[in-house]
Amino acid sequence: MSDKTKDILEWVYCIVIAVVIALLVRYFLGTPTIVKQPSMYPTLKENQRLVLSRVGRTLKKMPERGDIITFEAPSKSYLTEEEYNSKNPIAIYNNENKGMFNKFIYKFLEIGKVSYIKRVIALPGEHVQIKDGFVYINGEKLEEDYLQPGVVTDSLGGQLTDFVVPENYVFAMGDNRPQSTDCRRFGCIPLDKIEGKVKLRIWPLNVFGKV
């Protein structure tokens, strides 16, 4: 083997190792993302750049109330009356990919995956009620100072207005309540579908900082 061939192979090995490390960091530790919808306005605006922490997913840690998270979009964006189960008000996921390669592309590289960004409102075992324009957790009105003045929280045509969050699930909504397709319509999100927690806003620079 010539010296030139050895040099080329060394460069190839270095590039492969760098790509693998980058993918591992992106999947297990953190990754950048872009806000693409207005559902979290005014907290987050379209086209802002964020950094997500994925440590919680790696450690299978339940997020806290108030955390802004990203999660895989459910297969159905709306539960009909027939599909809704008040004793188990969960989102439907039935788009499981077949084959190791397809699973790798979808789950690890996240190619073809649609994700939502919302705020955690209620945690496992908590009784949620949406009534009179507000959210109540275990009978107490939830104070939401991150909402714009005058914003009313209603069912948005969804079924989830009085329920208990199942174990290992969370209930999440967008801050822009009138324009957010969220758990009110498609049900609670399982822990294993949560992809990351928003930690930092990096663009535009005038709003750089912790979210």
Residue labelled with tokens 């949406």: 130
Set 2, 45, 113, 118: catalytic member: 118
Q: Which amino acid is at 105?
A: I
The mean pLDDT value of the chain amounts to 92
Which is nearest to 180 in space by CA: 3, 41, 16?
Answer: 41
In tens, the pLDDT along 30-79 reads 999 999 999 999 999 999 999 999 999 999 999 999 999 999 999 999 99
Other residues' Cβ atoms within 10 Å of the Cβ of residue 110: 15
Contact 130, 160 (CB under 8 A): yes
Neighbouring-strand partners of residue 193:
none
In tens, the pLDDT along 161-190 reads 999 999 999 999 999 999 999 999 999 999
Set 39, 180, 193, 197: catalytic member: 39
Q: Is 118 an annotated catalytic residue?
A: yes
H or E stretch at 30: strand 30-34
pLDDT band at 1 (very low <50, low <70, confident <90, very high): low
pLDDT score recorded for residue 26: 87
Cα 103 to chain centroid, rounded: 19
- 116: CB partners within 8 A, 6+ apart: 37, 39, 70, 71, 73, 181, 182
Q: What percent of the chain has pLDDT over 90?
A: 77
Classify residue 148 as left (phi > 0), alpha (psi -120 to 50) or beta.
beta
Which is nearest to 69 in space by CA: 115, 123, 127, 22?
Answer: 115
Which is nearest to 90 in space by CA: 202, 18, 11, 191?
Answer: 191
Q: Is 39 an annotated catalytic residue?
A: yes
pLDDT score recorded for residue 38: 94
- Lowest-pLDDT range, 6-10, 24-28, 101-105, 121-125? 6-10
CATH superfamily of this structure's domain 32-210: Umud Fragment, subunit A (2.10.109.10)
